[in-house]
Amino acid sequence: MTTKISNWGNYPIMEAEINDFSSIVEIDEILKTKKQFTIRGSGLSYGDASLAPHILSSKKYNKILKFDHEKGQITAESGTTLDEILKVIVPKGWFLPVTPGTKFITVGGAVAGDVHGKNHHGEGSFCHYVTELQVMMADGQLKMCSPQVIPELFKIICGGLGLSAIILSVQFQLKPIKTAYIHQKNIIADNLDEMLGKLQDFNSATYSVSWIDCLARGKRLGRGVIMLGEHATEEEVITKHLFKTHSQPVVKAPFYFPSFILNASTVRTFNYLFFNKHKIGSQDFVVHYDPYFYPLDFVKNWNKVYGRRGFLQYQFVIPFEQAAKGLRIILEAISKSGMGSFLTVLKALGKGENTLSFPMPGFTLALDFPVSDQIFTFLDKLDKMVIDLGGRIYLVKDARMAPEIYWKGYPNASLFKEQVGQLDPAHKFASALSNRLQMI
Ligand SMILES: Cc1cc2nc3c(=O)[nH]c(=O)nc-3n(C[C@H](O)[C@H](O)[C@H](O)COP(=O)(O)OP(=O)(O)OC[C@H]3O[C@@H](n4cnc5c(N)ncnc54)[C@H](O)[C@@H]3O)c2cc1C
């Protein structure tokens, strides 16, 4: 039986047959009976990375297999979510070494996307902390790999979007914490030069991310708020519950918002209010890890706000040397088009470590655009600017780029294709994304 399915952006929507598994025997069975499929975690990639006509879902393969709370090492089945892991590790004084902006992704998705967090500039991506992967290859063979054992396999599985192997379990190193709280400092930047200068000045902060008013123009272009964070000490926290974990989302978007709500003037008003709220608000405070790292998780299904046609998250990175010029050109084009995004996030990245890793030393900008008739042509234009500036588009967020943009942006695209071709010559593992971009 097939069902309609989409990832977080609600675009594209596909008809798919979905099979769950809760044991290795069940995966092996699917491997023998299905000609081609993709593996899916929580479906929190925005576009079509984990969509295909046949989907193997890891959601029931979600046990924590081992947790050494002396050494801070954990091993979990690939369908375990970061949310489930946080509930176990935080009370014992440990935190995730890297976390994206939602805690509901699976560890399999974290490895296959080689996801980054607010600490990428200093501490690298999730895979940097992975000490061992148990995987199943396309021919059913079970393998273990790590940065030391079969490192070439490790490097194409990390960030390899489920195209080289099925990740069964992940062992990784956690980060020690003294409390479950973050000491946050907000810094206002009134324009792009100030924003880039201050991001550089505060480069030694453990966590750093900026929100940008993407519709500001002229002297205000690139204005925004930099949010820095450090794990708080016992002395900084006024609570007895030093290791309190997060609660479940309390608010639910009740329905798909009608598209007329999302227009240039609502986006402009939202951005204006957001900027000014931060400008007059407290600049230095202690906050629980949940609102600092996962402000959007508070509203379940917030993706419905973008309406039934869905939305596209457009995330690119460009090298530092091109940042001042490149971000100005791109922000001017966005501001002029009026196709603004409610949430525009800017952050510095360090180097990528795996074959298809998205990060490179540079600035990454992520924007949300509701799907509209004009957006595709507009983003095609931005793609060309990004490529001319030596940048690339993030694959787990993408739903629409053309193959040549992928091939120009990822210097290891040919190596990836060649290595995946050797491991899986019949292309058992394929997704809508890999087909669209001719990745394998
Ligand atoms: C609100 C929000 C904020 C986000 N913030 C960030 C951020 O700050 N940084 C960042 O890097 N990303 C971010 N993301 C993107 C998200 O972290 C990644 O797309 C992640 O890969 C999603 O994991 P998932 O479990 O939902 O996997 P899915 O979306 O289901 O799949 C993602 C990819 O992983 C593959 N995969 C999944 N499980 C396995 C497995 N067991 N074996 C092999 N391959 C597998 C899939 O085939 C697919 O290619 C964000 C997403 C949302 C919705």
Which amino acid residue places its CA nearest to atom 11 of ligand 1? 115
112 pocket-lining for ligand 1 (C-beta < 6 Å):
yes
Convert the pLDDT of each residue in 377-432 to its tens digit. Answer: 999 999 999 999 999 999 999 999 999 999 999 999 999 999 999 999 999 999 99
Q: What is the pLDDT of residues 311-351, one digit of tens each?
A: 999 999 999 999 999 999 999 999 888 887 878 999 999 99
Q: How far is the CA of 113 from the centre of ligand 1 (A)?
A: 6
Please tell me whether residue 188 adopts helix, strand or coil conformation.
Answer: strand
pTM above 0.85, yes or no: yes
- CA atoms in the 13 A half-sphere facing the CB of 20: 7
3.40.50.150, 3.30.460.10, 3.30.70.2520, 3.20.20.210: which CATH number matches 181-399?
A: 3.30.70.2520
81 lines ligand 1 (CB under 6 A): no
Q: Decide: 40 in ligand 1 pocket, CB within 6 A.
A: yes
Q: Which atom of ligand 1 is nearest to the CA of 431?
A: 47
**Band of the pLDDT at 260, cuts 50, 70, 90?**
low
Question: What does the pLDDT look like over 84-132, one tens digit per residue?
Answer: 999 999 999 999 999 999 999 999 999 999 999 999 999 999 999 999 9
CATH fold match for the domains 64-177 and 181-399 = no
The domain locations on the chain are 64-177, 181-399
Nearest atom (ligand 1) to Cα of 58: 41
Q: Which residues contact 261 (CB under 8 A, 6 or more apart)?
A: 307
Q: Quick check: bond before 12 cis, omega within 30?
A: yes
State if residue 396 touches ligand 1 by the CB under 6 angstroms criterion. Answer: yes
Q: Give 211's strand partners.
A: 225, 345
Query: Which residue's C-alpha comes closest to atom 13 of ligand 1?
Result: 100
Could you count the other beta carbons within 10 Å of the beta carbon of residue 112? 29
Q: What's domain 64-177's architecture?
A: 2-Layer Sandwich (3.30)
Q: Which of the four pLDDT bands, split at 50, 70 and 90, describes residue 258? A: low
